[in-house]
């Protein structure tokens, strides 16, 4: 008994590391590449065979790579992580100056330019989740959701997610993967951007229907909106992970 008590004290003296995950402090970048017609496969091959490795060489961490289920824009989505904002800028400067990357770029575009346009969203981690989760198993359908809030209402939304929504998502078969807040120009209110994983798009439809009719959700939503509506706009994109994505 004395031995067990000693072991317990030793574990507790290490702090909460065995019971709590440290908060994420990285700086994130969501990039969306819109390809020229017929060039999406070439872009995927370039990432798989060259770009992801060169990103890591220059201090960028590959988080995940996806293509939309309904890909009218011929797009590829991916997320990178950096130690901080300064490291992001330094890594890209180093990557773009790398002779190996310049050669890869030139060789891959001998048949024509691959990318038509690029959209970039910088993000900070939200404390809704302490760190990015990896979905259990393989071959999920991911859902990227972006919430634009009414003025000054983002803190209310984050509180609702922390206190209620993430638990209800899990109860309805949705896996919480990552939560971010966007970095907006001119100090505009950030958006909440998050990733869910579903077993399939059909499973997602079922999960959302059950969630939206759950009395616990309705009670939480109504209580959180007693002083006014929180969310102004919701955008949702279903995506499939590419074979080389860490998040599968």
Per-residue pLDDT tens digits for 130-148: 899 988 777 799 999 999 9
| Mean residue pLDDT across the chain | 92
pLDDT at 14 > cutoff 80:
no
Residue 14 CA to residue 10 CA, distance in Å, equals 7
CATH number of this structure's domain 27-123:
3.30.70.100
Per-residue pLDDT tens digits for 142-176: 999 999 999 999 999 999 999 999 999 999 999 99
Instruction: Identify the CA nearest to 193 among candidates 51, 35, 64, 4.
Output: 64
Per-residue pLDDT tens digits for 23-50: 899 999 999 999 999 999 999 999 999 9
Q: Hey, do 27-123 and 127-241 end up sharing a CATH topology, with the first three levels equal?
A: yes
Give the pLDDT confidence score for residue 8 in this predicted structure: 39
Question: Which CATH class for the 127-241 domain?
Answer: alpha beta
pLDDT at 242 > cutoff 70:
yes
- The sign of the CA dihedral 42, 44, 50, 54 is positive
Give the pLDDT confidence score for residue 136 in this predicted structure: 75
Give the pLDDT confidence score for residue 21 in this predicted structure: 54
Helix (H) or strand (E) holding 194: strand 192-198
Per-residue pLDDT tens digits for 220-238: 999 999 999 999 999 999 9
Backbone angles phi, psi at 54, to 5 degrees: -70, -35
User: What is this structure's pTM?
Assistant: 0.90
* Domain range list for the chain: 27-123, 127-241
**What is the mean pLDDT of the segment spanning 175-187?**
95
Q: What percent of the chain has pLDDT over 70?
A: 92
């Amino acid at each position: 008994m004395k031995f067990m008590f000693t072991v317990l004290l030793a574990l507790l003296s290490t702090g909460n590391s065995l019971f709590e995950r440290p908060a994420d402090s990285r700086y994130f970048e969501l990039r969306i590449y819109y390809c020229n017609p017929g060039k999406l496969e070439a872009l995927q091959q370039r990432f798989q065979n060259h770009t992801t490795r060169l990103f890591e060489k220059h201090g960028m961490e590959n988080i995940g790579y996806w293509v939309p289920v309904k890909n009218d824009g011929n797009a590829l989505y991916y997320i990178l992580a950096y130690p901080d904002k300064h490291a992001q800028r330094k890594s890209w400067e180093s990557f773009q100056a790398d002779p190996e990357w310049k050669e890869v770029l030139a060789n891959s575009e001998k048949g024509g330019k691959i990318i038509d346009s690029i959209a970039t969203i910088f993000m900070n981690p939200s404390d809704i989740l302490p760190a990015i989760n990896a979905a259990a198993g393989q071959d999920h359908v991911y859902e990227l959701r972006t919430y634009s809030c009414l003025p000054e209402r983002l803190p209310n939304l984050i509180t609702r997610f922390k206190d209620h929504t993430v638990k209800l998502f899990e109860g309805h078969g949705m896996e919480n993967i990552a939560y971010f807040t966007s970095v907006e120009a001119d100090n505009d209110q950030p958006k909440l951007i998050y990733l869910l994983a579903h077993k399939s798009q059909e499973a997602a439809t079922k999960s959302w229907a059950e969630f939206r009719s759950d009395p616990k959700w309705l009670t939480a939503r109504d209580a959180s909106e007693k002083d006014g509506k929180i969310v102004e706009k919701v955008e949702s994109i279903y995506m499939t992970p590419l074979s080389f994505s860490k998040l599968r």
